[in-house]
């Protein structure tokens, strides 16, 4: 019975936290939530991204807003707020849009890696372009060709910006 009460308490805390965070982020139009995790000790990790990046000041302000709305006397919790930088996988269309023209590595569900430049983003898919040396159709030697591949968001296991 005690375990059930504890589980209910954690679920209630998570729901309350999600609602408060959602309400707070409405005031930060250029920021958006990428990932939110909870531990059984009420350690909360919030990962944000922004159309123009996320500053340390943004993280501190959001943390302060959370503390104002969520009474720490009622619930013992800790919050860690961070931004998604290079190396953090792209998960939402807004992240893809802000990274157009950047070099990306896409891993499909067959674990095949595709490296190219992100050139187009839509509601359902994105496209990358790259150059590749291929044998000439006639004669010896190779020629450089421009290639592209379109991916639906659900067709890739991982998408990540890479440094040149």
- State residue 159's pLDDT score: 95
Every domain range in the chain assigned CATH 2.30.30.100: 93-161
- State residue 59's pLDDT score: 95
* CA dist list (Å): 91 to 9, 33, 99, 160, 161: 29, 10, 12, 9, 11
144 CB contacts (<8 Å, ≥6 apart)?
131, 132, 133, 134
Considering the four listed CATH numbers 1.10.3720.10, 3.30.470.30, 2.30.30.100, 3.90.1010.10, the one that applies to the domain covering 93-161 is 2.30.30.100
Q: Are 51 and 58 in contact (CB under 8 A)?
A: no
Q: Does domain 2-83 match CATH 2.60.40?
A: no
Every domain range in the chain assigned CATH 3.30.70: 2-83
Does residue 2 register a pLDDT over 60?
no
At residue 76 the predicted structure's pLDDT band, cuts being 50, 70 and 90, is confident
- Start-to-end CA distance of the chain, whole Å, equals 56
Q: Which residues pair with 107 in a beta bridge?
A: 113, 158
Task: Write the pLDDT tens digit of every residue in 77-125.
Answer: 899 999 987 778 999 999 999 999 999 999 999 999 999 999 999 999 9
Task: Write the pLDDT tens digit of every residue in 26-71.
Answer: 999 999 999 999 987 889 999 999 999 899 999 999 999 999 988 7
d(C-alpha 68, C-alpha 147), whole Å: 52
- State residue 73's pLDDT score: 59
* CA dist list (Å): 130 to 28, 105, 164: 35, 11, 13
């Amino acid at each position: 019975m005690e375990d059930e009460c504890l589980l209910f308490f954690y679920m209630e805390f998570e729901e309350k936290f999600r609602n408060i965070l959602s309400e707070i982020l409405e005031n930060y139009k250029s920021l958006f939530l990428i990932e939110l995790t909870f531990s059984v000790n009420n350690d909360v990790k919030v990962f944000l991204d922004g159309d123009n990046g996320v500053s340390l000041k943004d993280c501190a302000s959001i943390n302060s807003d959370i503390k104002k709305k969520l009474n720490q006397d009622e619930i013992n919790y800790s919050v860690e707020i961070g931004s998604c930088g290079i190396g953090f996988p792209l998960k939402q269309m807004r992240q893809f849009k802000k990274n157009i023209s950047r070099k990306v590595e896409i891993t499909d569900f067959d674990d095949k890696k595709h490296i190219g430049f992100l050139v187009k983003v839509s509601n359902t898919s994105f496209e990358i372009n790259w150059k590749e040396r291929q044998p000439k159709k006639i004669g010896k030697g190779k020629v450089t060709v421009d290639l592209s591949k379109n991916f639906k968001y659900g067709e890739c296991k991982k998408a990540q910006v890479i440094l040149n």
